[in-house]
Structure 1
Amino acid sequence: MATVTDSKTHAQINELTEEAKIRSEPFQRLLDEVGRVIVGQKQLMHRMLIGLLGNGHLLIEGVPGLAKTTAVATLAKGISTGFQRLQFTPDLLPADLLGTLIYQPQDQKFVIQKGPIFSNLILADEINRAPAKVQSALLEAMQERQVTIGSETFLLDEPFLVMATQNPVEQEGTYPLPEAQMDRFMLKVVVDYPSRSEELEILSRMSKTKSSMEICAVTSPAEIAQARELVDEIYVDGKVQEYVVDLVMATRNPSEYGLPINELIQYGGSPRATINLTLAGKANAFLHGRGYVTPQDIKDIALDVLRHRVVISYEAEAEDKTSDDIVRAIIEHIPVP
């Protein structure tokens, strides 16, 4: 099978590894700083950094009260950059998000009033409580990194990252996100209840009328931009590239890979899934201080990249199968190089 490889010598890979060890230190400090406020949720924190480094957006799902909003807000405080929290509600309008044209009678002309989307880190809180027209207003901003108001188009500042939280769609008053928008999110992270020991730690820290936990900014947009340049250079071997492609292709035609679950899948992952899985693997390698991607980097992150891109069929729902079940079966079945 022909492969496309970014060929690098062992010396170049070793050099990348040494640089990754140095450049990843501020992000380890960021994790430590955020960990002073957030108990547990280490996987969520790790995935947020992968989104930040891979220039991809995050969808965080969990029942209310699991510190999803606090985690994103705390991460933003740890970075010296702009932050906006948007509370999505059923009566929200696209103009409330993007901005609008305001008429000034004294000048007899319209001027542009920019919306809160013009920031760096955007927390879209409870995104699935807003109707589809507002969710769709995010599409251009998330994919094109630009916003159109009236006849003018404005580029958004870098870094630009949307971290959206949502409650499970079975909950009352929620609107499922359209598939087109789900695909714009690099990762979908499912947040679960804390363990018993974590719950005790939460009780010890948070059972006060006023929180005394403050965190310091430990990194900047310039460091993020430099880290992203290095992430782009991380080496991905041809066999790892083939492994990524096989994982995504197996979500479309599982029978070709010996998995008899075609009838359980309505749609599989798009080419964006292949790109995001590779980028997430590179970011994961960077955070571990490596200049190359291993198959385990891909395997570790594959569920979060693919779970929201696999649309299950009615047959799967009848059998009580979820997209997580199907993706896990694919990850376990596809041989690791």
Structure 2
Amino acid sequence: MSNRDQVLDLKSRLSQAVIGQEAVIDQLLYALLANGHLLLEGLPGLAKTRTIKTLAKNLESEFRRIQFTPDLLPSDITGTEIYVAEAEGDKFQFQPGPIFGNLVLADEINRAPAKAQAALLEAMEERQVTVAGKTHALPELFLVLATQNPIEQEGTYPLPEAQMDRFLLHVFVDYASDDDERKILRLVRGEDAGHATGEAGVVPEQAVLDARREVLAITVSESIERYLVALVAATRRPGDFADSPLAGWIKVGASPRGTLALDRASRACAWLAGRDAVTPADVQAVTHACLRHRIILSYEAEADGVTRDQVLDEVLAQVAVA
């Protein structure tokens, strides 16, 4: 079985266990294939945690969960040096924290103070942690999947824009359709009755690592490169579009990480679809998830109820396909 077939099998298992969230599953796999991190935002009970735990269950990986709370310390994430009386020589040994997993669920990341958030986000960027002057590398397969609740703001610490920028994708989780909700009822009834939901062998970690190398080999033409850059440039120079309201909507545009995210995620999208080159449709499929957390709206846009997705819809409408 090819690497792509194994990833498609993983997608099928996720779809069987998480009903009505096909777009979320696709974005999750893009992040996995592009070696980036994912921020899931949605109301309680929309299967954010279930999606991540199902991925861990069906992938050869070490799953770790960090429940973010206001009293969480950085050492609760990274680990700490502990005194060991029986140790030879150095009596202090490093006790790894939950960050040393392959799939790390950072649940309700906006409930922890800045120091704890920074400890996690530094590990995400550097792929290592430093404790007591010693550097410890994180696993090669390392993916942080953070969740946050958009409606409960009391007792939360919203992520600063510079830290949001560390996530490759920012995905909104919405309600399932009525038909899908009936399927969810039947699925949960079956699970409560102890019925298995397609148990099978897990996808090997090496298959994902090999798939990532194949994703990197996907061709990105010069015209697609120009299209990527033009989309991000439109968020920085919205005044170039005289007939569009973009200039009044955008206060700060996307950083160069936005361009890199579009490049990586669109290649993952093309690979998963079985193409050997990125198309404009691949770029458009990932634009919202790549850029929605990298732009800051103006006061006027927020006052008028304009959303970031509406702004990006306008960007896609204004920027011509190269």
**TM-score of the pair, normalised by structure 1:** 0.89
d(CA) in 2 for partners of 1:170, 1:239: 43
> Contact (CA 8 Å) 2:246, 2:314: kept in 1 or not?
no
Report the 3-state secondary structure (helix = DSSP H, G, I; strand = E; otherwise coil) of the residue aligned with 2:168.
Answer: strand
Matches within 5 A, 1:1-337: 22-105=2-85, 109-168=91-150, 170-207=152-189, 209=192, 212-214=195-197, 215-258=199-242, 259-337=244-322
For structure 1, which segment, 95-104 or 162-171, has the greater mean C-alpha deviation from structure 2 after superposition? Answer: 162-171
Q: CA contact under 8 A between 1:33 and 1:216: conserved in structure 2?
A: no
Q: Tell me if the contact between 1:26 and 1:218 (Cα under 8 Å) persists in the aligned partners.
A: no
Aligned to 1:185, the other structure's residue is in SS state coil
SS in 2 for 1:336: coil
What CA distance in whole angstroms lies between the structure 2 residues aligned with 1:216 and 1:177?
Answer: 38
- In the superposition, relative to structure 1, how do residues 169 and 252 fare at CA in structure 2: closer, same or farther (>3 Å)? farther
Q: Which amino acid aligns with 1:327?
A: L
Deviates more, 1:256-265 or 1:85-94: 256-265
How far apart, CA to CA, are the structure 2 residues paired with 1:160 and 1:306? 22
Q: Where do 5+ consecutive residues of structure 1 fail to align?
A: 1-20
Contact 1:36 / 1:213 at 8 angstroms: preserved in 2?
Answer: no
Change (3 A) 1:169 1:143: farther
Cα distance in 1 between the residues matched to 2:115 and 2:193: 38
Matched to 1:168, the amino acid is: P
User: AA paired with 2:167?
Assistant: F
Structure 2 distance, partners of 1:293, 1:282, is: 6
Letter in 2 for 1:145: R
Alpha-carbon distance between aligned partners in 2 of 1:272 and 1:154, rounded to the nearest angstrom: 25
State how far apart, in whole Å, the 1-side matches of 2:112 and 2:310 are. 28
For the 8 Å contact 2:41–2:149, the answer to whether it is kept is yes
Query: 1:323, 1:211 → 2: CA distance?
Result: 42
Classify the secondary structure of the residue corresponding to 2:17: coil
Runs (4 or more) in structure 1 with deviation over 6 Å come to none
Q: Which has the higher contact order (CA 8 A, sep 6+)?
A: 1
Q: Separation in 2 of the partners of 1:217 and 1:128?
A: 35
Counterparts of 1:188 and 1:43, CA distance in 2: 12
Q: TM-score, with normalisation over the residues of structure 2?
A: 0.93
CA 1:267–1:67: 2 relative to 1, 3 Å? same
Q: Percent identity?
A: 48
What residue identity is the alignment partner of 1:277? L
One-letter amino acid matched to 1:269: A
Q: CA deviation at 1:35?
A: 2.0
After alignment, is 228-237 or 32-41 more displaced? 32-41
- Structure 2: runs of 5+ lacking an equivalent: none
Matches of 1:309 and 1:241, distance apart in 2: 19
Superposition deviation, residue 106 in structure 1: 5.6
CA distance in 2, matches of 1:90, 1:43: 32
User: Which position in structure 2 is the counterpart of 1:15?
Assistant: none
CA-atom RMSD in angstroms: 1.8
Conservation of the 8 A alpha-carbon contact between 1:247 and 1:330: yes
Once the two structures are superposed, residues 268-307 of structure 1 have per-residue CA deviations (whole angstroms, 9 ceiling, x without a partner) of 1111110110110000000001100001100111011000
